[in-house]
Structure 1
């Protein structure tokens, strides 16, 4: 007896996939729309990102408390208290530096004007075009600095609003973070891959800021003592500036150097300015440019090129705050897009992720 013919497959034929070029264009278009939305909502995204980073850094405070039997609500309260202490300390430091900087500009307005006139005359003697002189005069004129300070003062309400949202976000995020440790037990093995990526991202963010804080503290102390020994006014302000700008990868050194160098030129002339630049170059270049990037790249597994590009990219997207948050945002983007797909190991390796090579070797052994 002949076997019965199998019934024809009634399922509709699957649609052919989109051409690779069209898929790439659609992905780029979607990315542009998302980035444009982030740029439009930077006033909301910035405080949210700051609060998330603070909570990630302070979250390990709860673990020793839970191990000794403290209730979960007490551990969460400890995380919130530490996070608020960090925020208040940073706010006080920046407020002190801002007030002192404003007083410096007002006190040395006359000397700054005289320095500008000297530089303009020197440029004229060198035969440079008048536009160059006008540019220098506009950059160093006291009126320009005072307008800058005025704009900072007018933005204090926005800063206060952002701080309110940051404090609120920290409160809610710290409470929600207590639930994530139970994800594997509540949802089983299916939640483990996502939690592994989440924990790796948290470790990278914490290590990055710990490394930067340690190097920034060393650089700030050395710079502050050197400026104090040279007689540059307000060395504590420039030490705080060195510490804060240390969290800006690659270009933070220049941002922290320009203001004290200009002030040294005003109060002591070219010799004092060159001395400040020399000290900053010796200390900051050795620590921040030669030594620290190696530790940072090892801590977060990001290439030096990608670290530098991320500063420019995220500053363009969400403003100046993006320079400080560039590394965590880049790590988050890599975790969401690349780390979930084993086929993107080479892209992760290209970004500086050394673990991608180890995963590739393990996968090769399994298939062999």
Structure 2
């Protein structure tokens, strides 16, 4: 049977015949509104759920990857010493394992000493609690303090302490006699308590060995996973991301280790018990953003208050933590890793809450390193760019887009704040040429599409007028280009085009020209220019923030100016977009010259001043 293709159907929509059965291929729209967002949400929910349910498996893997970033520079150093890949990896992992074991040994010894010290300081703690009660006159808000003191006294006094019943009759001590522990019992309890941490540590170090040995293979698999359309770019991105992360983690480890060493030394000098324990705790908790310092300082401060009479030592411990943190935060970190981790302040807080919810205390400690990994990958890989937008500290909008958004919102204060921020590192002319005019052009595009009403455009014009009132008095740190002086004798008429915001563009031009010693005046439009407004030597500058679609009004304005101003030179301050530059709009409009901004107009007038005649430059 022949099947005739209907002219209204494409090749994919035609009925197909297979084995005598006539079939039609269904056409499903690929871009259904909301489907992509819904699919992304579903994927995110599945991934987060998997991370939560599989945390016992994922945590060792993540620790192995982070440890591989820390050890990679050492592996590279050993390989340069011609030790071979396998031996270099094994030596690096063995060194890390030794350091971790030594760390746990130190923590165990410090905890044993701390327990004995707390028992010896029982009397001091009792006196401090009694002093707090007297300080607050036994108020009801300290009703729980007695209970805390009683429980703490029982804990520190040991199992022989007696209790009193409510009737006041001392209760008979109750002794629970445990059977003598046998070696088998002790070994079994020890295995039960240490089995999970030991297995986790074993998995971490074994996975680290394989990650370091298979580094290139894992990189190739990631490239395959994220696409092979641009191998060169993807390879460079992954290599750069790996190098940056290794450098960041290693530097952060060094800074936190130095923080712990300084805290240990300071606490030792102050005589606080178990200074090594508090130093290790301080180094680990410094990875926790914002609250890590308070979490590490609080136990040491309480111990100092409990161990010494008075509150002087507690105040000194607090000052030690704050001083060391500020010195490292203000000097060491900006010098070694820059002023920022690349994360926005809000994303740091949200990341800490997110990872703590998923993986508990370990997730809280790893929140910043894990989020830094995601942001670095997002900056290099297009498919993960949304991570950089959501979590990174880079502005999500360009200055042009940000200014236009604030114009749409009618937020005058934000517009003024943004202009002040931009003027810190650029001149007023650069602000107008690079940001303000481009924002007006975005408004022109939207007006052509019919999405901006006349009322909205008028409100934008009013807001910009107020902003320009404040910017007229702004003084640049370095004027660009140098002022031409008051002796130029070249009056300029800045004439607004047909677009409603062209008057703002004309006013911007006049402001820049006036501060460079040029007599500039703003005219509302070509129809407002009379022959008496154009004395000999005047330059007419038709200012328009419009687009290519507004060439016809500009052409009509130039013709009108020709009839009114005679032979006066006409400069088209059109500032077209990239598509219009190649078409030569100034030739189409029949203007004498075209400039792309206020600085180009200044250079043009400077050339006129040097030549001494208008015709030499403006012909």
Fold shared, TM-score > 0.5 on shorter chain: yes
1:100 aligns with 2:110: yes
Q: CA deviation at 1:257?
A: 0.9
Structure 2 distance, partners of 1:346, 1:96, is 39
Which one of 255, 260, 265 corresponds to residue 305 of structure 2? Answer: 265
Structure 1 distance, partners of 2:296, 2:249, is 18
Which one of 211, 214, 239 corresponds to residue 254 of structure 2? Answer: 214
- Aligned with 1:125: secondary structure? coil
Contact 1:297–1:304 (CA under 8 A) maintained in structure 2:
no
Q: CA deviation at 1:297?
A: 6.1
Q: CA deviation at 1:277?
A: 0.8
1:275 aligns with 2:316: yes
Q: CA deviation at 1:195?
A: 2.7
Gap runs ≥5 in structure 1? 362-366
1:191 aligns with 2:236: no
Structure 2 distance, partners of 1:293, 1:252, is 19
Which one of 29, 35, 39 corresponds to residue 15 of structure 1? Answer: 29
CA 1:207 to 1:65, structure 2 compared with 1: closer, same or farther past 3 Å?
closer
Q: CA deviation at 1:203?
A: 2.6
Structure 1 distance, partners of 2:155, 2:235, is 53
CA 1:352 to 1:281, structure 2 compared with 1: closer, same or farther past 3 Å?
same
Structure 2 distance, partners of 1:173, 1:303, is 30
Q: CA deviation at 1:81?
A: 1.7
Which one of 47, 50, 63 corresponds to residue 60 of structure 2? Answer: 47
Report the equivalent of 2:281: 241
- Residues 1-368 of structure 1 aligned to structure 2 (within 5 Å): 8-12=9-13, 13-15=27-29, 17-20=31-34, 23-63=36-76, 70=82, 74-112=84-122, 115=125, 118-119=128-129, 122-123=132-133, 125-130=137-142, 132-133=144-145, 143=155, 155-179=193-217, 190-269=230-309, 270-288=311-329, 292=333, 296=337, 300-334=341-375, 339-341=380-382, 344=385, 347-348=388-389, 351-353=392-394
Report the equivalent of 2:426: none
How many residue pairs are counted as aligned between the two chains?
Answer: 351
Contact 1:315–1:322 (CA under 8 A) maintained in structure 2:
yes
Q: CA deviation at 1:6?
A: 7.1
Q: CA deviation at 1:267?
A: 0.9
Structure 2 distance, partners of 1:49, 1:97, is 24
Report the equivalent of 2:406: none
Bigger strand fraction: 2
CA 1:342 to 1:153, structure 2 compared with 1: closer, same or farther past 3 Å?
closer
Structure 2 distance, partners of 1:80, 1:139, is 50
Bigger helix fraction: 1
Structure 1 distance, partners of 2:303, 2:137, is 24
Tell me which moved more, 189-198 or 83-92: 189-198
TM-score for both structures, normalised by structure 1: 0.76
Tell me which moved more, 241-250 or 159-168: 241-250
Q: CA deviation at 1:163?
A: 0.8
Report the equivalent of 1:364: none
Tell me which moved more, 295-304 or 305-314: 295-304
Higher relative contact order (CA 8 A, sep 6+): 1
TM-score for both structures, normalised by structure 2: 0.48
CA 1:80 to 1:355, structure 2 compared with 1: closer, same or farther past 3 Å?
farther
CA 1:113 to 1:154, structure 2 compared with 1: closer, same or farther past 3 Å?
farther
Q: CA deviation at 1:332?
A: 3.6
- Aligned with 2:318: secondary structure? helix
- Aligned with 1:320: secondary structure? helix
CA 1:268 to 1:96, structure 2 compared with 1: closer, same or farther past 3 Å?
same
1:294-329 CA-to-partner distances (Å, cap 9, x unmatched) read 865657422333233322221211122212322332
CA 1:47 to 1:126, structure 2 compared with 1: closer, same or farther past 3 Å?
same
Contact 1:56–1:205 (CA under 8 A) maintained in structure 2:
yes
Contact 1:55–1:173 (CA under 8 A) maintained in structure 2:
yes
Structure 2 distance, partners of 1:132, 1:307, is 36
Structure 2 distance, partners of 1:288, 1:188, is 41
Q: CA deviation at 1:38?
A: 1.4
- Aligned with 1:325: secondary structure? helix
